[in-house]
Structure 1
Amino acid sequence: MRSLSRPLAVRRGTQLACAGAALALAATGCSSTSTHSTSGPITIGMSLPLSGAIADISKDGYRGYQEWADELNAHGGLLGRKVKLVVLDDAFQQNTALADYNKLIAQNHVDLLLGTFSSFLNLPVAQVAERNKYVYIEPSGGADSIFARNFKYLFFAQPATTERLPDQFVAQIAALPASQRPKTAAFVTQDDPNTSPATALFKKKLAALGVKSVYNTTYAPDTSNFDAIANSIKQASPDLVVQGALADDGVSLVRAFQKVSFSPKMLFQTNSPSDPKFPSAIGTKNAEGIFTALAYSPEAPFPGNAKFVADYTKRFGEAPSEDAANSYTAGQVLQAGVTAAGKIDQTAIAQWLHAHTVQTIVGPLSWTASGKPTGSLLLAQWQSGKLQIVAPSSAATAKKAVLTKPGWSN
């Protein structure tokens, strides 16, 4: 990772330096505020993994941004000006993402920023935004290591972070009589600053309930063949499998399980099962009983959510995924901050967000001083071809969770 913390030695000739190499911006602390136009469209920059390992997630996320921007423009824009999205492709590469956000600030002189996807990318990129004092609202990437930096301009547009991800699922296990709890578990995770810590938290919390770990491994983000991992898990024969998945890796592990004829009694996967296309990718009946955690549900009764679902579905021909909703929410947060500040003033926007609650389609959002949200996540499970909320009871759309997953269907 490129160091972004070298102190500013000389400020003379700032505008000339900012027009130079993009990567120099974070090291020199150049500011682009003096180049912002006060007329014409408000430009909002972002770099997304439109190609690469998580392109499918990013496609939905980009759609969420588009839906938010177009809806905003249809109602007069922001501060009486239309908004224009300036979008670059980082191909899920950290160095590219860093270069892109430096370019957006130093060369494109965008007025505002919105975040990219995954903790893997957001962790380094948030440093660029912080160094240049740009509000940075990330739609995904809840690794607690990001918020440990105590950034003042960072905000996470989901109800909770990684540390809260296991809570509802572990509570389900804890509520069972000891004789009915899983005795053993396998833990497998993508090497990502969000999924790896989440899987470690599952392991720790389940161990406290007497669930013994019989397998534990981490795989590279570009892993596509899971046959060896599936075989190893089959040999360990755990009652429960917990996978820290990000996108297609969740589908690939299920397919590998089917290939080696192993079906755990319980299966929890992060992220992947929240994709509406997940059942069709593994076989609709095979999704039955698989658990995941959600930051968003299309059925949630929060203000504006029903309209968002209807408009998005009409435009794109399918219901919004969680990734689409998270992007739309990030836009809502940015919109609220800018509207309240009454001008493009990064510090004023950040200060207002820190002091207020924003009503969004994922519910009311508020943040700690480091940008960490103060809410909690939902526990969901695929039941009869539909992703149902099973906990907490106040938000449940299903009567109860299926605690023994059916075997795979041919």
Structure 2
Amino acid sequence: MRRTKKFALMVALCLVSMLMVTTAWGQNSIRIGVIGPMQFSQGQGHWNGALMAAEELNARGGVQVDNRTMRIDLVQADSNEFISLEDAAKAMNRLIARDKVDFVIGGFRTEAVLAMQDVAMDAKKIFVGVGAAHPELCNRVARDYDRYKYFFRSAPFSSAYLVKTVFIQLRTVGSLLRQTLGVGRIKVAIVAEQAMWADPMVAAAENYIPRMGMEVVGVWRPSPRATDVSAELAAIQRADAHMVFTIFSAPVGVALARQAGEMKLPAAIVGINVEAQKEEFWEATNGAADYLMTMSTYARGMAFNELTRDFVDGYYKRFGETPSFTADTYSAIKHLLAPAVAATGGLDAEKIITYLEETVHLIPSGKIAFLKDEQGRHLHDLAWGPGGQTGIAVQWQNGRQVPVWPHFKWMSPQWEFSAEPPETPHEMSYEGIQPYVIAPWVIAAHKQ
């Protein structure tokens, strides 16, 4: 009997010891949920960026918080958001309820992120969005701060600024085409996937392209997962378009590039094509992507600041590709959350929110400062423009992504985007921006 009681006591002590170790371990780690469409390149970017940040921080012992260090522990969640909004919400709930994460980063498709956002807000869990661009995600913060203050957007900047940026890129290429081809009015076809985030951009494009002195010849809205857009391309060719303005975040971007390249569509393709931001895009299009231009975040050979090259080169060495904007989970962890935890002394969400709101953050893609709206209400959205977040444009040239935009010139009283490089480099210059090249079959078809 005594031996039995002694054994039971030893077991109990062991269990208590294990519980104490587990509790201590939990207090000395930062658990971050990484959520995204993991079966697609966008979700893989989420995971790769987060993994790289965690490895770098843990290699130096973790995040220094007062007199202790806290390691980064990642938990992956496949949102399946291209297929099911319900799956996305459930994946977010599992991260919070089952996996007990301290923060969540990621998300891609706006419709899904809106659902995931509500789950995170119910739990008062800080959720850093890395992928969805719709203004509503941050407008919610301004309208109902107490509920939505736990949400921040770290990439990309709002679609309101995305469309402004791609309009500038469209105007730049359109001006070059007008000069080179000798045509009076550039004709533009708008091709956008059927998705909520693209809707306001299509409306804006229809409104503003004519104001830029160009003509809209039609709008086409294929499925995000379409594998054949030959009918749309044939209609665009019949419309005699000089340019195709794309608004793509999903796999349809591969189909359009491949088929347009194979038929040598006599139109310059510019806009947003998330798939075209990936190294494997060239192979996915069977080498048919030459001369396509897309808004992007990173490219080898260019730098926004002193952090860019180390990140881009390190990512390429680690994963064999240039990081897309969903890989900015790297910055969300290394340059936002980790410094916030260190500066505030722990995982108190209220303190971290205040820190993020009040601090300007240097990251590999520029600087992050979180905006307020015109009424002075916090938006937790990204400041855009020279000196903040601008993005770049890359053009596929001979199988390589070449950065071709932007240049900046001082136009009193502020910096302006320019198609022409400055006479001499200045503090706003980005290293490595190269000239845009017009496809020879576009020149052959339209030069007058």
- TM-score over 0.5 for the alignment? yes
User: Are 1:271 and 2:261 an aligned pair?
Assistant: no
Per the normalisation by structure 2, the TM-score is: 0.75
Q: Of Structure 1 and Structure 2, which has the larger fraction of its residues in strand?
A: 2
Note the alpha carbon deviations across 1:77-101, whole angstroms, 9 max, x for none: 1331212111121222221111111
User: Are 1:210 and 2:213 an aligned pair?
Assistant: yes
Note the alpha carbon deviations across 1:178-225, whole angstroms, 9 max, x for none: 865652111111122333333433333212123222221222233222
CA distance in 2, matches of 1:225, 1:342: 53
CA distance in 1, matches of 2:259, 2:322: 28
2:324 to 322, 338, 355: 322
Residue 397 of structure 1 aligns with which residue? 432
Residue 95 of structure 1 aligns with which residue? 86
CA distance in 2, matches of 1:238, 1:174: 12
The CA deviation at 1:44 is: 1.2
1:86 to 75, 81, 87: 75
User: Are 1:152 and 2:133 an aligned pair?
Assistant: no
CA distance in 1, matches of 2:185, 2:248: 21
Higher relative contact order, structure no. (Cα contacts within 8 Å, ≥ 6 residues apart): 1
Residue 172 of structure 2 aligns with which residue? 172
* Deviation larger for 245-254 or 299-308: 299-308
CA distance in 2, matches of 1:293, 1:128: 31
1:377 to 391, 398, 418: 391
Instruction: Tell me: CA distance 1:61–1:407, structure 2 relative to 1, closer, same or farther (3 Å).
Output: farther
CA distance in 2, matches of 1:194, 1:406: 33
Instruction: Tell me: CA distance 1:164–1:181, structure 2 relative to 1, closer, same or farther (3 Å).
Output: farther
CA distance in 1, matches of 2:273, 2:30: 35
Amino acid at match of 1:297: A
The CA deviation at 1:366 is: 0.8
The CA deviation at 1:246 is: 1.4
1:302 to 294, 305, 308: 305
Residue 247 of structure 2 aligns with which residue? 244
Note the alpha carbon deviations across 1:81-132, whole angstroms, 9 max, x for none: 2121111212222211111112222232222211222323222212222332
Note the alpha carbon deviations across 1:43-72, whole angstroms, 9 max, x for none: 112322112xxx122123211111111111
How much identity, in percent, do the aligned residues show?
23
The CA deviation at 1:40 is: 4.5
User: Are 1:63 and 2:48 an aligned pair?
Assistant: yes
The CA deviation at 1:162 is: 1.5
Residue 35 of structure 2 aligns with which residue? 47
Q: How does 1:177-196 map to 2 (within 5 A)?
A: 180=183, 183-196=186-199
The CA deviation at 1:356 is: 0.7
User: Are 1:136 and 2:112 an aligned pair?
Assistant: no
| Equivalent pair of 2:316/2:323 in contact (CA under 8 Å) | no
**CA root-mean-square deviation:** 2.6
| Equivalent pair of 1:44/1:86 in contact (CA under 8 Å) | yes
The CA deviation at 1:387 is: 2.2
- Which SS does the other structure have where 1:86 is aligned? strand
CA distance in 2, matches of 1:182, 1:327: 42
2:400 to 365, 386, 409: 386
Instruction: Tell me: CA distance 1:379–1:257, structure 2 relative to 1, closer, same or farther (3 Å).
Output: closer
Instruction: Tell me: CA distance 1:156–1:181, structure 2 relative to 1, closer, same or farther (3 Å).
Output: farther
Where has structure 1 moved over 6 Å in runs of 4 or more? none
CA distance in 1, matches of 2:94, 2:56: 27
Note the alpha carbon deviations across 1:108-161, whole angstroms, 9 max, x for none: 222221122232322221222233222211121112222221232222223632
- Which SS does the other structure have where 1:353 is aligned? helix
Instruction: Tell me: CA distance 1:183–1:225, structure 2 relative to 1, closer, same or farther (3 Å).
Output: same
Amino acid at match of 1:356: T
CA distance in 1, matches of 2:90, 2:103: 17
Amino acid at match of 1:45: G
Residue 18 of structure 1 aligns with which residue? none
Radius of gyration: which is bigger? 2
| Equivalent pair of 2:245/2:270 in contact (CA under 8 Å) | yes
* Deviation larger for 238-247 or 228-237: 228-237
Amino acid at match of 2:42: I
| Equivalent pair of 1:168/1:392 in contact (CA under 8 Å) | no
